[in-house]
Homo-oligomer: A and B are copies of this chain.
């Protein structure tokens, strides 16, 4: 059984303290593939500089990980007992407003792009924006170009209206790599039943998260498997996976960059709040990627059979990658 984490937030680029230890946690959890966060606010060359650092990190830790450039790479690397790194951005600032850069970054290895992070972009509105514009005309072109270039359209932090527009425009199944159902965990970052139903029709995927700020009261193994079962009932067993949203090493400076970037001078709280400014400390049943086997266990206890557990733990994401990560 191959485990997949559809969103790891840990900054693992070369020379970050703790990267090696974080990777060891991933491999200790028998996770065969992770979609990583190469950047949030970087422009094109800054994004390329990040890419280079991730490549150097992967080279330096080739006993544990390898960057995957295709769906076949992912299955091969996982089968070797290592972890495939799927390169993704949590924003599309790397495009720097250029439609043509979708293909160029796809060729450089980027396989996932989230249409907005926590603020409005030239593509659309974020989940925290008071007024969501919906998908812009440029945004619609970008979605179709991402479809063509085998780059997954990630809608996790995207506002509701923009999310629904993107699902409508996308000719390929979309991904919500890290979010939970709003009906169970009412947080701005989570997804309404309307979005989940649209995702079902689109044959897309959601990676259910254990991130403390968006998991609400579903923060034990028993409660979390209930959240999984609810989602499976709503959209179907083959559309549900796991996207932890863990940041294993980042700390305060990284959190500030993530939440505030260069767009504000006042403190921004992201999925936190003034009373919960973060960094988020994860404790308990699923506190880091080494605890992935506990998810398998609680799904069995919830009554999922062997095949169903395998789908949720990773096979659904692998099939999604097979379908979406086409070669140019």
A interface residues, Cβ below 8 angstroms from B: 44-45, 48-49, 51-52, 55-56, 96, 98, 100-101, 103-104, 107-109
Contact = CB atoms under 8 A, between A and B. Distances in A.
24 contacts: A44-B44, A44-B45, A44-B48, A45-B45, A45-B96, A48-B98, A48-B100, A48-B101, A48-B104, A49-B98, A49-B100, A51-B100, A51-B104, A52-B98, A52-B100, A52-B101, A52-B103, A52-B104, A55-B103, A56-B100, A104-B108, A107-B107, A107-B108, A108-B108
Contacts of A107: 107-109
Contacts of A100: 48-49, 51-52, 55-56
A267 to B, nearest CB: 31
Number of copies: 2
Task: Name the 3 nearest CB pairs between A and B, nearest first.
Answer: A52-B100, A107-B107, A107-B108
A103 B53 CA distance: 12
A44 B48 CA distance: 10
A70 to B, nearest CB: 12
A315 B33 CA distance: 44
Contacts of A104: 48, 51-52, 108
Contacts of A98: 48-49, 52
A98 B52 CA distance: 9
Contacts of A109: 107
Contacts of A49: 98, 100
Contacts of A44: 44-45, 48
A52 B100 CA distance: 6
A43 to B, nearest CB: 8
Nearest to A44: B45
Nearest to A53: B100
